[in-house]
Structure 1
Amino acid sequence: MKILWILPYLPWPMTSGGKTRQFHLLRTLSERGHRITLLVQSKTEADAATRAALEPWLERLIVVPRRPLKHPLTVLAGLFAPWPLLTTVNGVSRPLRRQFEQLLSEPWDVIQVEHSYSLQPYLPVLQRAGRDFVLTEHNLESSLGGATYDRFPAWASLFVRYDQWRCRQWERKAFDAARQVVAVTETDARAMRQLTRTPVEVVVNGVDSRSFAEVTADSQGQRVLFVGNYEYAPNLDAVQWLLDEIFPQVWRHCPDARLAVAGYALPDSWAERWSDSRIEWVGFVPDLPRLQSRCALFVAPLRQGGGSKLKVLEAMAAGLPLVSTGQGASGLAVRDGEHYLAGDDAQALAAALVRLLLEPALAARLAAAARLYARQHHDWAVAGDELEQIYRTLPFTQEHPACV
């Protein structure tokens, strides 16, 4: 198939779960012979390393710069436009609309738009042309009020409620306009079906099982790993909860335990706020398997967010025993005591971490079951199969049966 794939960010380097999903789905579809043009609006330029990573999987990479976050147009639209704040940040772009109008003059078997918040520049053009499109929603944004708005001051509460209302209205409009909506978990899909009559199907988040197959957890060590993108509020909350409430309890029983905090955009202030030498501020790691092999466990103390967590899948695929909240394991068909140990308060999570640090046989059994689950149900090949199956049902691919 000839696919026009549209993103509000460059999917390289893979500094977030969303970018990881995009890169591997593009790679998987390209390996199966599909011809993909990637249209990206990005706040960063596509440097040589980014192009070297992406262009082997693409027919074309087209990058349109995104205006600065504090641009007057963004501020005015954020206050007065009918779209939610996140949509105005990524929308109201004349250069992007013009580029899309040129691309739309070409024949496409599939037009795929990632995230409803990125749809605004394209929707009027698509509707005027009468063109169908697939819309993938990684999280139901209107349900993420705590994650999206927690940095707003208390005096902005009226604006927050207004913006949440705009978000719900925009989601319904975006879902209704699409030919097909794609969710990443069945829980999210059920919620989306309450908002629209458009069919909603699931394409699971995945993991590159090959990359993690040779990782062996350090069962004799005491290092616990957390990975996140710290531009995303739920990951900020997770680390703060870990260090304020969970790990002080762990250290009472396992004083030699260490916590490695890895990931993109690690706040500089954290090293001063939590100065304990048992905390390792790792930052972004391009070679995650190497770090995983130095760790005994993975912890996912997430209290906010949606979808399924790629960091959790990667830990499972690497054979790292997992301790997680229900939110951390959301969207996965894993069971407490069979694939991981669960806890939804600080005391339960600390107790689970202590137990696995002190019982390596139990840790190894859970890790083996989790690794098998990730390989069988969440390899990117599985996600690619699900997406191709959706494409085969679309009316615009039926017009070109040779493409499928």
Structure 2
Amino acid sequence: MARRARVLFLSQCLPYPPHTGVAARTFNILMQLQQSYDVDLVAFYRTTHQPNRRALEASWAALRQVVGSVAQPTPIPGEHSLVRRLWDHGRSLVTGRGYTFFEYDSRAFARRLRKVLRARTPDIVHLDSLDLHRWLPELPAVPITCTHHDIDSDLLRRRSRQLGPAERRYFLLQADRIERLERELCPRFAANVMMSAVDARRLRELAPGAATVVVPNGTDTDYFQPHCCGAIGKRVTFVGPTLSSYPNRDAVEFLLAEIWPRVRAVDGMTSLQLIGRHAPADHARYHAQSRVEALGQVPDIRPTLAAAGCCVVPIRIGGGTRLKILDAWAMGKAIVSTSIGCEGLDAVDGDNILIRDTPAGFAEAVVQILGDVELRRRLEQNGRRTAVERYSWSMVGKGLRDAYDAIGAAACAARYARSAGLPTSEREERRHDVAPAPPHPPAPSVPVGPPPHLAERQRREESLEW
């Protein structure tokens, strides 16, 4: 029996439970890759996903049932130490590197990655985010792919518009540094995995020569199915954690301040449910709004979605594609979204979704769906059809596996050409056999740890191994 190719998968989060956007995508991509490849997962974990040791152990155990091997998860150092976070920002300012270079700097992660590489050499390396670019020098000379959940430099610039002057300057500085990385690194990857054709086109504009493959987000169309739960009431639902996602937080504030009062002015019996992790202060503030219920993180969103007459996606910041729309489509739900919220999806205004960008227009569309049964049913049926025909994870996974098969074949051809003394283009050599080193401008030497007078305080704050 032929040996299965091996994929080393580096992730900035431990993708279980798959309740949030990035975690849901990463978990399902792992499941799809494991069908054709042996996958080794080396991942950081976040306290917003695994808040305690018990949750961490449960996530780790669950993922070991999904892929070939999962290294011991590594905490993100700055999540456990204010000193470390400040030190990382300081190093970014002094060196000219982006903040994420230091955010994911971890001795424990380095040890775990090296241990996996000593045991097994991968055929392909999958970076699940450009944030992990600092680990490129550690990787062997095999094809490397990078997933872009957003165009990160554009995302930072969009977010900066909502900030005060000082924060705006810092975010724009980081956006410039990330854009430099995108320009210099992305053409060297064997493939840049994009969420949408819109994102792929934008990356090629930023980084001429970058090879892109569109592998959109997906949904489990067997798990998320239309449910008959009796009469649909005048209930509106928004799905999205505000604790860990600035775009979702901005969306909820926009919804409550500018859209919801307009809906209530037309129909005072309409209610709103918010699903996702919220900070305690925000949770109480949301509940204080008239006919608003903040449910927090729920183990299963399907019953809440099934009872909704309309789902809303008032996103104003971000790229990629929205799993919240795909899941709602799969459930056969009528949706109102901003144009940014459904960017990159096969969303057709009036056919499978209503797209509105002004508060008044958005509120009017919500009221229209709740009051027009024929319109709602048309949107529901067409949304479900779109999810099944375009966005089931089985279809998405096949696209990624096909892309990886092509990358592997090209790498084999390049190795054969060299062994036979045949000419190989410098561009193909870079893409298929060289792990690119992260570029950076000349900068003064900066120590990897905090200055001595902060070291003892940092050690006291550390509760987990870095």
Query: Fold match, TM over 0.5?
Result: yes
Find the aligned partners of 1:265 and 1:177 in 2 and give their Cα distance: 39
Matches for 1:71-150 after TM superposition, within 5 Å: 71=84, 73-90=87-104, 92-105=105-118, 106-120=120-134, 122-126=135-139, 129-149=140-160
Higher Cα radius of gyration: 2
Letter in 1 for 2:112: Q
Deviations 1:19-50 (A, max 9, x none): 000111112232x2432111002244562321
8 Å contact from structure 1 (residues 146, 304) kept in 2: no
Letter in 2 for 1:51: W
Q: 1:202 aligns with which of 190, 193, 214?
A: 214
8 Å contact from structure 1 (residues 181, 201) kept in 2: yes
Q: Note the C-alpha offset of 1:340.
A: 1.2
Letter in 1 for 2:41: L
Matches for 1:10-89 after TM superposition, within 5 Å: 10-30=14-34, 32-44=35-47, 47-62=56-71, 63-69=73-79, 70=82, 71=84, 73-89=87-103
Match of 1:193 in 2: 204
Q: 1:346 aligns with which of 352, 359, 380?
A: 359
Range with bigger deviation, 44-53 or 384-393:
44-53
Letter in 2 for 1:389: D
Letter in 1 for 2:308: C
Match of 2:381 in 1: 368
Find the aligned partners of 2:157 and 2:235 in 1 and give their Cα distance: 30
8 Å contact from structure 2 (residues 286, 294) kept in 1: no
Note the residue ranges of structure 2 that are not aligned, 5 or more in a row: 48-52, 414-466
Find the aligned partners of 1:319 and 1:147 in 2 and give their Cα distance: 31
Q: Note the C-alpha offset of 1:305.
A: 0.5
Q: Note the C-alpha offset of 1:251.
A: 1.0
Find the aligned partners of 2:128 and 2:319 in 1 and give their Cα distance: 16
8 Å contact from structure 2 (residues 156, 174) kept in 1: no
Q: 1:391 aligns with which of 401, 404, 408?
A: 404
Deviations 1:370-390 (A, max 9, x none): 111011100001110110111
Deviations 1:215-270 (A, max 9, x none): 34765301100011212111111111111111111112111000101112345335
Q: 1:287 aligns with which of 293, 300, 307?
A: 300
Letter in 1 for 2:74: V
Q: Note the C-alpha offset of 1:318.
A: 0.4
8 Å contact from structure 1 (residues 217, 296) kept in 2: no
1:78 to 1:217, Cα distance in 2 relative to 1, 3 A: farther
Letter in 2 for 1:370: G
8 Å contact from structure 1 (residues 109, 396) kept in 2: no
Find the aligned partners of 1:300 and 1:242 in 2 and give their Cα distance: 9
Letter in 2 for 1:355: Q
Q: Note the C-alpha offset of 1:165.
A: 1.2
Matches for 1:314-329 after TM superposition, within 5 Å: 314-329=327-342
1:114 to 1:325, Cα distance in 2 relative to 1, 3 A: same
Find the aligned partners of 2:356 and 2:168 in 1 and give their Cα distance: 31
Find the aligned partners of 2:169 and 2:326 in 1 and give their Cα distance: 38
Q: Which has the higher contact order (CA 8 A, sep 6+)?
A: 2
Deviations 1:142-169 (A, max 9, x none): 0012554467542344333322211111
8 Å contact from structure 1 (residues 308, 330) kept in 2: yes
Letter in 2 for 1:9: C
Find the aligned partners of 2:333 and 2:349 in 1 and give their Cα distance: 15
- Give aligned-pair identity as a percent: 27
Match of 1:330 in 2: 343
Range with bigger deviation, 219-228 or 373-382:
219-228
Task: Report SS of the residue matched to 1:68.
Answer: helix
Find the aligned partners of 1:161 and 1:276 in 2 and give their Cα distance: 34
Q: Note the C-alpha offset of 1:285.
A: 1.2
Find the aligned partners of 1:314 and 1:68 in 2 and give their Cα distance: 32
Find the aligned partners of 1:341 and 1:217 in 2 and give their Cα distance: 24
Q: Note the C-alpha offset of 1:135.
A: 0.8
Task: Report SS of the residue matched to 1:211.
Answer: coil
8 Å contact from structure 2 (residues 286, 293) kept in 1: no
Task: Report SS of the residue matched to 2:238.
Answer: strand
1:242 to 1:375, Cα distance in 2 relative to 1, 3 A: same
Q: Note the C-alpha offset of 1:85.
A: 1.9
Q: 2:251 aligns with which of 208, 225, 238?
A: 238
Range with bigger deviation, 258-267 or 134-143:
258-267
Note the residue ranges of structure 1 that are not aligned, 5 or more in a row: none
Task: Report SS of the residue matched to 1:399.
Answer: helix
Letter in 1 for 2:412: E
Deviations 1:275-301 (A, max 9, x none): 134001111111011111121110111
